[in-house]
Amino acid sequence: MARRNMNMQPTPTLRPGLPLRVLVSRDIVLRPCQPLFFNTRSAMP
């Protein structure tokens, strides 16, 4: 099993909030962003 995955590059892991710049050579199609959590409380009292 380990030998089969030896040719895979490791996944880079960055700390949350760190700015990240990605350069691409072709167009990328992304789905619209959806929030993970919905704020059910009002910001104003």
What is the C-alpha separation between 20 and 14, in angstroms, rounded?
A: 9
pLDDT of residue 44: 56
Residue that has been written with the tokens 């909030």 in this structure: 17
pLDDT of residue 25: 93
Q: Summarize pLDDT for 14-31 with one digit per residue, the tens.
A: 888 899 888 999 998 888
Rg of the chain, C-alpha, whole Å: 19
Enter the DSSP assignment of 9: P
What is the model's pTM? 0.28
pLDDT of residue 22: 84
Residue 30, classed as helix, strand or coil, is coil
